[in-house]
Chains A and B, each alone.
Chain A
Amino acid sequence: MAKNQVSSNPHDQHHPVKLSRGDKIFNVCNYLVFILITLACIFPFYYLFINTISDNEMVRLGQIQLIPRGIHFENYVQVMKIDGIIDALFVSIARTVLGTLWTVGGCAFLGYLCTKQEMWLRKVWYRLIIITMYFSAGLIPWYMNLRMLGFLDNFWVYVIPGLVSPYNVILVKTFIEALPPSLEESATLDGAGYTRVFMSVIMPLITPILATLCIFSAVGQWNSFTDTMMLMPSGKYYTLQFLLYKYQNEASSLAALVRNTQDSSALGNLATKQTALSVRMTVAMVVTFPILLVYPFFQRYFVKGIMIGAVKG
């Protein structure tokens, strides 16, 4: 199942068959429906984008619906000046990069270790790890635990607890088990220890699955905001996503921010004047851009990843 490409189509090969009238109607309807669905998926992105680059006064009056008018990029410049945005961007990037490396590295090595039959009590440890996938202690015990461990108001809470993710471990383990064992044996005969074997033999071979895990983990890290909300009570280490959430909910603080940025902005030009709405939309767009940027390149990995997951079921 995993070997086939998603795009291979049962109908690709036969063409000379003449389409019946029913087929034609079906085709037209089918295309139309899918065009509509796709539009529904893209349109919100487009709508938000044109609203951030259009004349702010017209946006405020609701005159920008399908075509951008009075294009300017002042919103983006001004948003970058909001106190805390740059910090939040930095935190978001740091947690995404560090968290991804940490999780993927940890799960890869752990997955490798789990394939080693000779380990002392291997099955027990493996089950202990996997079983955590099926239960959770619940929100309060989780929160109190992190609190007890000193992770409140601590940047590392974004990174460290993610070391072991059972699902990823299963994926890596299954993937490694499918590799020919001879490769590893020959390296062991050459005198390489476990870490050497892992670094120089296994790692290069499992890059496809690692790439998939990286992407999922990175997207997860970038998108997460509830952890900031609960674990950062004193307002340190806010992430972009959380700021976005905050701006949506706290109209008053946003209004104050807007006033502050206004103080230092150039002129009282209505077209480029910041409004609460424009700030919200622009921050949302700023948060979206990285995903839009990497998305096309990594789309095929998503497909691959979910297929590997599907094999496991």
Chain B
Amino acid sequence: MTRLKRRGGILLLLAVAVVSLFLPAVKLYIHSQLGEEVAGLFSPTLSSFSLMKGDGALPLSSVPALASLHFEGWMLTGGCVCLLVAACLGFLGSGWMLSLSLALSLFSAALSASFAMHLQNLAGSLLFSLMITVQWAAYVPLVCALAIAVWVLVIILKEKEGIQLSEAAWRRLMALFAAFALVCCFLPVYRVAVPATITSTSSDADEMNRSTSIFTYALGQEEMLNEGKKAGFYQDVMTGDLQELEKYSGNGNDLRGIFLIPSTSGNQVRNLAVLCAMALLLLTLILSLIPSVDKWFPVALSLLSLIAFGSSVLGMMSVGSGDMYSGASRQLTYMGLGSVTPWPLVGLVVLCLGTLAGVMCIRVANSPYFVNPIPESVRLRVVALTLAVIALALTLAPQATFSFYRPGKTKAVSSVTMTGVQMVTFSTPEDMLSPKDNKGKDMYTEEGAEDTLSLSAVTGKMQDMTRQLGLTSWASIALMLIGIAVLCMKKQRKIAIAAFLLSFGVRVVTWLQMSSLMPAVIGSAEPSFFLYATLPVLIFAAFFANFADMAELPKKYKLFLMMLPFLLAVFLFSYLPLYGWSYAFYNYKFGMPMSEQEFVGFKWFSEMVNNPGQRENIVRVLKNTFGMSGLNLLTSWLPMVFAIFLNEITRTRFKKFVQIFTTLPNFISWALVFSFAMCLFAMDTGIYSKFMLAIGAIKEPVAWLNSTEHIWLKMWGWNTWKGLGWGAIMYLAAIAGIDQEQYEAARVDGANRWHQMRYITLPGLLPTFFVLLMLSISNILNNGMEQYLVFQNPMNKATIEVLDLYVYNITIASRGTTLYSFATAIGILKTLVSVTLLFSANFVSKKLRGESIM
């Protein structure tokens, strides 16, 4: 009886799984396009049980184009048998039988998952979506199998009180997982099945039917298919039906793309990543089998391979339009021509498990946290050396990207290493360098440049430049080598530091040279990523060289190093945008480099006042901004009153209830608020119109959302609806902080409720109110744009546009605008005014209350 109590759930789950087999799992309906005679062949719903029986359940053979597709009924059959055995074992067994049950139920889950995935693949395909929808019952066996597995696992853990595996066992487990993940690389990722009926010949179909594993993909065998595309092979093949299908596929998905899966640009990197991942996996496998190796190594390797494998798998899955796992599968299955298998994902999961097993191995072995193999005394020296070598490598890499362009039409690009020996290598068509305008004149010579921009001239110039830049590059390389040598010899570290810092300086000179040497007529030279990267690496090399003789970095610098990534993020996302303020002083044109822009000084600022059209706009927008902010400011006491009166309610339940539901609107987006508005105030269906008509307040439905009447009030209303309850929370907290004895003393003195509210609660809340008021005054210009953005439409635009929204509307929202500089100027003024307001508010607060609000 206790067994039934403890394990009865397993039987229940099994029962659910079995019952679900007879529930409708797939709904078939026929689309009118396929015609009456085919429609007659379909039954309305099918249960998993009938699917298990195999192809016969679906009259697929009657639709010729689909003949090659079939339901893999055996997967579900196998899954159900496994589940049955697993459940019996789980209910009755003990010891190893439980483990077997766990394994079987997991296997069953895998089979059911494959089945469900297959179904989903089919149902997602274009042809099948005309007749199939998968229903929830198809997934029940999967869920049941997983639930049983968890249940059995819990039983095992309870009976054994934790799994006791030896260190060696964990290690072997890790090796096993690594091996399995390796195998997964060879299992197919895609299966493409092209029925003979839609190709011109059956041999073509044979050629196209294939499965691709990650491995073949990494080896670049798919390149052959590219060749095929060039030869026009697939264009010929895909005739007839497919062109019909192309109409449906829409979204610009190129059908041929499916057959040419890996032809995107990131390919090279991904190929490398796959091969790396496989090599790492192999290493993990070997190292985890050797007991004497430090256990940390296979774990670290496994983690690395996890990263490489994961990125490549996800990258591969996302080939096509979608950029997500579903992308490729959607493309393939859209056509009903293929499917994506779960193998790579299985490989990923297995790899995760393997890493976990490795970690468990370390824990069981009770080995200390990672033992650094580098001796303590030279650790910082090694870091400094490594950084210096990296800097060296970066210096030898391409240093600049050169762009040659003619006005309007950019450009031929070439990257150049600057070490001086290399010849300039670029393959630029002659006409790119000496472009003729449509009258046949040389465009550049007209501008008065003396350069004859022939290919040889440019090449010569480039060689000159390279020579000059090469000098500084070689100098910095020499300096780095000196630094490295000094560090290696454990001599004076000061020399090494000086060398690194000097080479840093020389690199900066190179950087400056680069922009000045390139004749502006030809084009521009942009330092490549490598040059930028060298600079911080050198600084850090010098930094670590300073501590080269110490065993450990001093604490204050250690902390600083930890802080550094955050500082970098702050710099990148908060300070770097300030650079954009310079746009306000230029006549900024989108997509041109800064050096090409026209400097206009304070033109845009004066335009705000002097240009009547702009002035009118600015005044209007400011009026809106101040109007709506002002309304909110004038009513900013509402939350306080709300809190005071809510506090007068004695029933805690009710109070809580009110609090919860009035806060809710604060947590939904403005887009959603607008949906509400749209439904409630819809012209002819909304409850507002119906109600007003019913009580006779209006004669005919009004377009409430489109009308410009009282738009400020309406905006204020929505803002209050959203923020009232939320704003009150802070006051409620403040009320809770008021000394209770004051109330009691007041009551003894005969104060009634009103007096208490007026003379105790209200004064207690005023400081909070004051702080919030000051903050909202300083934010008067920043009333955000989301609310006004969702509510704006052509009708009410004039009265709803606030400053932020206006800036958005004239720039990002309108394509091809030239007002970027103007908008930036507005932004600068806005920020300056806001900051001034904030400091004044802070000043006032300090004067009045002796407390700062910042």
Residue numbers of A with Cβ under 8 A of B are 1-2, 4-12, 14, 20, 22-23, 26-27, 30-31, 33-34, 37-38, 40-42, 44-45, 47-48, 51, 59-62, 65-66, 83, 86-87, 90-91, 106, 109-110, 113, 116, 118-122, 125, 128-129, 132, 134-145, 149, 155, 160-161, 163-164, 194-195, 219, 222-226, 230, 236-237, 241-242, 244-245, 248, 263-264, 266, 277, 280-281, 284, 287-288, 291, 295-296, 299, 302-303, 306-307, 309-310, 313
Contacts and interface: CB of A to CB of B under 8 A. Distances in A.
Nearest to A5: B736
Contacts of B652: 7, 9, 12
B569 A164 contact: yes
B589 to A, nearest CB: 12
Given A62-B682, A299-B663, A306-B730, 4 more contacts: A6-B729, A12-B650, A106-B566, A194-B558
B563 A125 contact: yes
A12 to B, nearest CB: 7
Contact of A47 (B326, B645, B679, B823): B679
Nearest to B33: A263
Interface stretch (B63-71, B178-186, B683-691): B683-691
Contact of A194 (B559, B570, B689): B559
Contacts of B668: 223, 288, 291
Nearest to B834: A135
Contacts of A14: 747
Interface stretch (B439-447, B496-504, B669-677): B669-677
B449 to A, nearest CB: 30
Contacts of B572: 145, 149, 161
Given A143-B812, A310-B734, A41 B662 contact: yes
Nearest to B562: A113
Given A33-B645, A194-B559, A284-B675, A26 B753 contact: yes
Contacts, number: 295
Contact of B662 (A8, A30, A37, A65): A37
A131 to B, nearest CB: 9
Contact of A140 (B570, B676, B680, B827): B827
Contacts of B557: 120
B835 interface: yes
Nearest to A193: B558
B678 interface: yes
A220 to B, nearest CB: 9
B785 interface: yes
A120 B556 contact: yes
B657 interface: yes
11 contacts: A2-B733, A10-B647, A31-B654, A37-B725, A106-B566, A116-B559, A119-B560, A138-B580, A142-B577, A299-B663, A309-B730
Interface string B560-574: 101100110110111
Nearest to B778: A134
Contact of B679 (A4, A48, A161, A291): A48
A139 to B, nearest CB: 5
A295 B667 contact: yes
Contacts of B732: 6
B686 A10 contact: no
Contacts of A121: 560
B729 A9 contact: no
B494 interface: no
Contacts of B752: 20, 22
Contact of B721 (A12, A40, A230): A40
B247 to A, nearest CB: 12
Given A7-B652, A48-B679, A138-B824, A110 B563 contact: yes
B729 A303 contact: yes
Contacts of B615: none
Given A44-B680, A219-B667, A236-B323, A140 B807 contact: yes
A138 B678 contact: no
Interface residues of B, number: 112
Interface in B583-604: 583
A244 B570 CA distance: 32
A139 B811 contact: yes
A34 B728 CA distance: 13
B830 interface: yes
Contacts of A299: 660, 663
A160 B737 CA distance: 39
A219 B726 CA distance: 14
A129 B650 contact: no
A256 to B, nearest CB: 10
A90 B326 contact: yes
A307 B734 CA distance: 9
B388 interface: no
Interface string B20-38: 0000000001010000000
A225 B669 contact: yes
B566 A284 contact: no
Nearest to A196: B369
Given A4-B736, A118-B555, A120-B559, A87 B322 contact: yes
Given A9-B652, A31-B654, A132-B575, A1 B672 contact: no
A60 B679 CA distance: 11
Contacts of B785: 226
Contact of B737 (A1, A141, A303): A1
